[in-house]
């Protein structure tokens, strides 16, 4: 019942967006039923005509109609497949769009939560499952049920007792499905974790990076052994379930087959007693065969598909309608009127979801407009986390943040950035689709990104799609263009040059600093000190706390941890 309520709600939502497609699909299924029914009557008419051998014209006419109706069945079957494929694509697009809209409302910190990432992955899988389930429901509603009802009317008009044959065939088949569903539902719930582990190792074996690196560290054999171990245990448990179901399933199939056999006996007996004609006998035998086939097809196909997809449908539904991660309470991030500072942090603490330890502790910062600030320190000191709080991407667990900058005027370049397999132009304007070509060309000149016949705005940045693969240095410029192609007053640069050598890194920072307007806030985040001479204020962090802060000269005179780090890097580069 819970699953039914979910599907009704999801179907209503998609129906509002795809009314015409729903109607066309329903009509296509219904038309198939009508064509099948016409074929039944035409076949009976043909057999009757053949019995009257003297009426050759009647035989030819009925044969022509039979051929025509048979061709119509094939034609509408083909049309049905085409229309369903189109409808599935539209459904996938509809539910993907809903998924994207909800994802866009997620509190960014949720992406650091393993529970959320698991729910997100499962919901993505659920998109196709929801679409497929809707198709199966439409198939049952507008094809199988009308077909069985119309065939019941046909039998009722020919031989009343034959009407009982349809439930005698269908009911045991449905009971068999219900039994399997109950047993396998318990199995899925009990062995869900083990199945996830098995699927994880299976995915690892399909990972290109793993296959590439396996020659170096020989980890492929270990993964294969683990996969076989968990797969063997899962199959062993499944076999126990199959053996248990098999006994009941076989009994119910015998009942269904008995209904089928009784129908044939009744028909033949009625024909012998001349209660039905040879034409009705022949037609009814064919239709009982078809009913038996359709009954099994609807259960093993449509109903089984609905059952198989129900878990991912639930994942998708819960992500869309019961998503606890949508709560983006920003009470402790405010703007402050008549404040001299663009950003003001007062005694803030922060911890990631699921953690009892604070990643940041007792942080207080004042940032004026036009500031150039470097946040430095060893790896794992909390630099990136702090930068995400300063731009409002994360909210403090305790303390108060005042951000007096419009969030649409904040941009950032992080170490891990997206390399889209799109054109050069699309890779840049994705953050500002309204950017004019003239402005884009000026920005490209500013960052010294040169284009020619082989590398231009229409070049796809991926060899996978017939384009080219560019160097990391070129990507640095593309990502910089992406960040500055929008209006902004505040930019964070979080180790965007980690892939460059120290001298290239320094050149890049100098270049970027000269490029950016002097009245905007720039925050450099790094564990290497190439950017310090461009900064008017430096924050040195360790273990989630600000240990030292001031100008470069002030920190050197302090003779503390910053100076020690600076001297070590200076010696290394000398």
**Rounded distance between C-alpha atoms, residue 371 and residue 513, angstroms:** 12
* Residue 38 pLDDT grade (very low, low, confident, very high; cuts 50, 70, 90): very high
What element of type H or E holds 507? helix 502-515
Residue 450 phi/psi, 5-degree rounding, is -90, 140
Residue 535, pLDDT above cutoff 60: yes
pLDDT, tens digit (0-9, with 9 covering 90-100), for 119-139: 888 889 899 999 999 999 999
Q: Starting at the edge strand that comes first in sequence, how are the strands of the sheet with 410-413 ordered? A: 410-413, 490-494, 521-526, 372-376, 537-542, 545-550
Q: Are 461 and 424 in contact (CB under 8 A)?
A: yes
Q: By mean pLDDT, which of 163-172, 173-182, 253-262, 547-556 is the weakest?
A: 173-182
In this prediction, residue 330 carries a pLDDT of 47
In this prediction, residue 188 carries a pLDDT of 59
Q: Are 428 and 475 in contact (CB under 8 A)?
A: no
| Burial (CB count within 10 angstroms: exposed 0-12, middle 13-18, buried 19+), residue 568 | exposed
Q: By mean pLDDT, which of 98-107, 463-472, 509-518 is the weakest?
A: 509-518
Record the tokens describing residue 160, joined without a space.
């009343």
* Residue 37 pLDDT grade (very low, low, confident, very high; cuts 50, 70, 90): very high
Q: By mean pLDDT, which of 82-86, 499-503, 557-561 is the weakest?
A: 499-503
**β-pairing verdict for 398-403 and 410-413:** unpaired
Could you tell me the end-to-end alpha-carbon distance of the chain, in angstroms, rounded to an integer?
A: 72
Residue with tokens 């994942």: 315
Maximum Cα interatomic distance, the chain, rounded to a whole number of Å: 119
Percent of the chain exceeding pLDDT 90 equals: 24
pLDDT, mean over the chain: 82
Q: Where are the alpha helices (DSSP H) in 322-421?
A: 383-390
Residue 429, pLDDT above cutoff 60: yes
């Amino acid at each position: 019942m819970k699953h039914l309520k979910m599907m009704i709600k999801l179907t209503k939502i998609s129906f509002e967006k795809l009314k015409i497609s729903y109607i066309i699909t329903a009509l296509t299924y219904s038309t198939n039923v009508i064509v099948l029914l016409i074929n039944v009557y035409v076949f009976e008419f043909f057999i009757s005509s053949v019995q009257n051998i003297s009426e050759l014209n009647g035989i030819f006419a009925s044969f022509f109609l039979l051929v025509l109706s048979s061709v119509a069945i094939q034609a509408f079957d083909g049309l049905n497949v085409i229309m369903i494929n189109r409808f599935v694509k539209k459904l996938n697009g509809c539910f993907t769009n809903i998924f994207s809209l909800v994802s866009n409302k997620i509190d960014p910190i949720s992406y650091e939560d393993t529970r959320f990432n698991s729910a997100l992955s499962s919901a993505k899988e659920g998109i196709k499952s929801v679409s497929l389930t809707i198709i199966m429901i439409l198939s049952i509603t507008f094809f199988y049920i009308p077909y069985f009802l119309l065939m019941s009317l046909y039998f009722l008009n020919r031989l009343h007792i034959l009407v009982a044959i349809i439930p005698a065939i269908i009911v045991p088949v449905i009971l068999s499905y219900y039994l399997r569903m109950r047993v396998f539902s318990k199995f899925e719930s009990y062995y869900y974790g083990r199945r996830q582990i098995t699927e994880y190792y299976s995915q690892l074996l399909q990972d290109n990076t793993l296959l590439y690196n396996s020659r170096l560290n020989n980890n492929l054999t270990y993964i294969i052994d683990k996969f076989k171990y968990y797969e063997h245990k899962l199959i062993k448990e499944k076999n126990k379930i199959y053996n248990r179901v098999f006994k009941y399933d076989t009994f119910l199939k015998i009942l269904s087959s008995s209904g089928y056999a009784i129908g044939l006996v009744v028909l033949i007996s009625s024909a012998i007693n001349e209660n039905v004609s040879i034409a009705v006998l022949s037609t009814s035998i064919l239709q009982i065969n078809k009913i038996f086939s359709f009954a099994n097809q609807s259960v093993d196909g449509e109903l089984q598909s609905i059952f198989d997809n129900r878990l991912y449908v639930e994942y998708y539904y819960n992500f869309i309608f019961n998503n606890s991660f949508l709560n983006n309470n920003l009470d402790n991030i405010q703007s402050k009127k008549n404040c001299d500072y663009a950003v003001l942090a007062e005694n803030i603490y922060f911890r990631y979801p699921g953690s009892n330890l604070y990643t940041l502790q007792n942080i207080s910062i004042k940032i004026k407009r036009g500031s150039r600030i470097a946040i430095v320190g060893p790896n794992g000191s909390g630099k990136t986390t702090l930068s995400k709080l300063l731009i409002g991407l994360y909210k403090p667990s305790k303390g108060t943040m005042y951000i007096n900058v419009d969030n649409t005027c904040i941009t950032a370049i992080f170490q891990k950035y997206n390399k889209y397999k799109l054109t050069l132009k699309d890779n840049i304007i994705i953050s500002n689709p309204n950017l004019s070509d003239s402005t884009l060309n000026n920005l490209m000149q500013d960052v010294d990104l040169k284009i020619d016949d082989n590398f231009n705005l229409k070049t796809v940045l991926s060899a996978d799609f017939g384009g080219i693969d560019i160097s990391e240095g070129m990507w640095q410029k593309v990502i910089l263009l992406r960040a500055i192609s929008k209006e902004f007053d505040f930019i964070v640069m979080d180790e965007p040059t980690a892939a460059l050598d120290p001298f290239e890194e320094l050149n890049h920072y100098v270049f970027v600093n000269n490029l950016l307007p002097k009245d905007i806030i720039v925050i450099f985040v790094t564990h290497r000190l190439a950017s310090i001479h461009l900064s008017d204020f430096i924050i040195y962090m360790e273990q989630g706390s600000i240990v030292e802060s001031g100008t470069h000269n002030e920190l050197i005179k302090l003779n503390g941890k910053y100076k020690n780090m600076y001297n070590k890097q200076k010696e290394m580069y000398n």
